[in-house]
Homo-oligomer: A and B are copies of this chain.
């Protein structure tokens, strides 16, 4: 990335499209971009200047990344936004998952539209101090596939950073799609001239997920984004025993629902079991999970969040889990993680300063 905008498949000794000798040096012979490079205007990208101006009003920028999809990254981003807004911060949540935006649903904002003013695009507001921007607000039909190759996705991300009028923000949380490709390179390049606090990486305890998270940590190191910490999500299922169903396998392999019968037995013979929480290790963490990976890669571990069906439900319904007293297993875990994040990164100062 140190070469700036030099394409990865450029000729050897490519002087870079921003250089004065772009398209004119010996190395440019035969390059299909020679003509464009020779004639394109030089100097800093005016878009980056505009982005830097917009971002001057944003105190802290946090990226939320994951190597693999479906690990709960958007759920975490959404709950982090709710939590910070509940602390009276001015919060913006930017969804740069162009092909699969989940953020509108997770903030309870489906069907909302973006409005335009002479200051730029207005975010959609959950509350007066929590604004949200996503391509999901721009699709005429929510079922439409956004079949876009990289350059078009990058263009929209640039526009989100340049044209959205957030006003003054304490925090801008950027929810990225999984992986390490166009969207990630673009967001980092676009924010390069501003200060990014760092990235939170979300994973599950599975080996396949941890392999990808290592790639994500490598990515952050390569592009110079600090890893604020890793969150292990879906770290075992955890729910009231009374929420379980019980099945009996018949000889022919069919399953019969015997939940009522079981509950009767428990109520009769051992009612002390009714108040318990049943836990299950859904994803094998015998490899040591994210804790071990973090110590190996030298990045902070922020904590574990159990797979809590009630948290999933809150996310699906666009609600904060912190306002849901039934999320007994997930909400305290998430709260601890967010507190740790704030503390270890000097962000809790803000709270005591009343910012």
State the A residues within 8 Å of B (CB): 1, 7-9, 32, 35-36, 40, 67-71, 74, 98-100, 102, 105-106, 142-153, 155, 177-182, 184-185, 204, 206-209, 211-212, 214-219, 222-223, 237-239, 241, 243-249, 253, 255, 258, 262, 265-266, 269-270, 272-273, 275-284, 297, 307, 309, 312-313, 315-316, 328-329, 332
Contact = CB atoms under 8 A, between A and B. Distances in A.
Nearest to A103: B208
Given A100-B179, A281-B309, A282-B237, A265 B270 contact: yes
A74 B208 contact: yes
Contacts of A1: 147
A185 B40 CA distance: 29
Contacts of A180: 99, 145-147
Given A8-B152, A312-B282, A100 B248 contact: no
A280 B219 contact: no
Nearest to A212: B100
29 contacts: A9-B151, A32-B36, A70-B204, A74-B208, A99-B180, A102-B211, A102-B212, A105-B211, A143-B214, A145-B218, A146-B180, A146-B215, A147-B180, A153-B181, A244-B278, A245-B279, A246-B278, A246-B279, A247-B279, A249-B277, A249-B328, A262-B273, A266-B270, A269-B270, A278-B280, A280-B309, A282-B312, A283-B309, A283-B312
